[in-house]
Amino acid sequence: MELTTVWFILIAVLWTGYFVLEGFDFGVGMLLPVVGRDEAERRAVVTTLGPVWDGNEVWVLVAGGATFAAFPEWYATLFSGFYLPLFLILVALIVRGVAFEYRSKRSDGAWRARWDAAIVFGSFLPALLWGVAFSNIVRGVPLVESADGNIEYDGGFFNLLNPFALLGGLTFVAIFLTHGAIFLSLKTTGEIRERAYRVGMLTGLVATVLAVAFLLWAQLAFSDKTWTWIPVLAAAVAWLGSVLMHRVRREGLAFTFSALTIALAVVALFGMLYPNVMPNIDPAGPSLTIDNASSTEYTLTIMTWVAVIFTPIVLAYQSWTYWVFRKRVGAEHIADAEVGSLDEVHV
């Protein structure tokens, strides 16, 4: 197997890890005001993410860095052509991170309500725009070859807001909402757990309809490979298993199946894309492939050795983090919920 193919697969793995882990982060963030009715409950919801949300975001940084190093032409075209949606994602993630840190600094209700709204916004917008971005990559975008031989994006922001991409965005939102609801059912107690269960059943049905429509559209319209039917159908089976396990309150299995669904869906999308990394919407036009967008063989070789050495260390550390913070959290575990940390300092 050539190193260009190896790194295409590794980048797909990184995006899979990001969407599986950050997916429930986004879902929990969007559900914060829905499942948390008072400050103790909302603090409990945020606490389920406290030890892991920033670690989950590292996956997208590594995926972006790996893309820059392994496929610089892909990185350049993607980040220039998709500049506005990627900029909005970055702003939303910054606002969301700040909100997690600052919402409990003061006991003022209006202060907390604003930061809670920032968490919802910072979770919804990236979920939507990642779906729009990846749908456009699979569908293809207008590309032209410049005078210096580079392949560049030849469209605007509104070219990205086509029906297939908008369906992809809504599908990502619905899947992540359900993934987050299942995570909360697994990680919380009491009324929070019950509300998360009910929300998960509702969003699960909506996500089922959207995901079936999205994956079938992608497979039939944008895939020239028969084998990609395998992850598409496997994702459908895994999602059915997740919904059924959630219904019978087997939260661990439900979360495992929902994570597997996201992973299989990402595999299907990258499989439809290969060997392109950014196809041209015009079949007669130039496309970016793993060959014309890649770095040199020497660069890829060094990167491979670095990945072999450090990836197991990172995975072991993150797995250990999840194991340490595996217990359930409820409103009853939150002491002095109404007291802000800065208020305590001034007392």
Per-residue pLDDT tens digits for 228-272: 999 999 999 999 999 999 999 999 999 999 999 999 999 999 999
Which of 81, 92, 167, 100 has the alpha carbon at shortest distance from 125?
Answer: 92
The pLDDT value recorded for residue 340 is 66
The pLDDT value recorded for residue 14 is 94
Q: Is 109 exposed, middle or buried (0-12, 13-18, 19+ CB in 10 A)?
A: exposed
Average pLDDT over residues 20-37: 94
Average pLDDT over residues 37-48: 91
Percent of the chain scoring above 70 in pLDDT: 97
Asked whether the beta carbons of 43 and 115 are under 8 A apart, the reply is no
Percent of the chain scoring above 90 in pLDDT: 71
Residue 9 has which token pair? 């697969």
The pLDDT tens digits of the residues spanning 129-140 come to 999 999 999 999
What are φ and ψ of residue 330, in 5° steps? -140, 170
Average pLDDT over residues 215-220: 95
Band of the pLDDT at 343, cuts 50, 70, 90?
low
The pLDDT value recorded for residue 347 is 39
Q: Report angle CA 89, 120, 181 to the nearest 5 degrees.
A: 110
Average pLDDT over residues 184-191: 94
Residue 180 has which token pair? 């987050």
Q: In the chain, what are the domain boundaries? A: 3-142+149-333
The pLDDT tens digits of the residues spanning 77-125 come to 888 889 999 999 999 999 999 999 898 888 888 899 999 999 999 999 9
344 has a pLDDT exceeding 70: no
Average pLDDT over residues 212-233: 94
pTM of the model: 0.93
The pLDDT value recorded for residue 333 is 79
The pLDDT value recorded for residue 346 is 43
Angle between helices 109-139 and 3-35 (to 10 degrees): 150
Q: How far apart are CA 52 and CA 25, in angstroms?
A: 9
Q: Is 315 exposed, middle or buried (0-12, 13-18, 19+ CB in 10 A)?
A: exposed
The pLDDT value recorded for residue 345 is 46
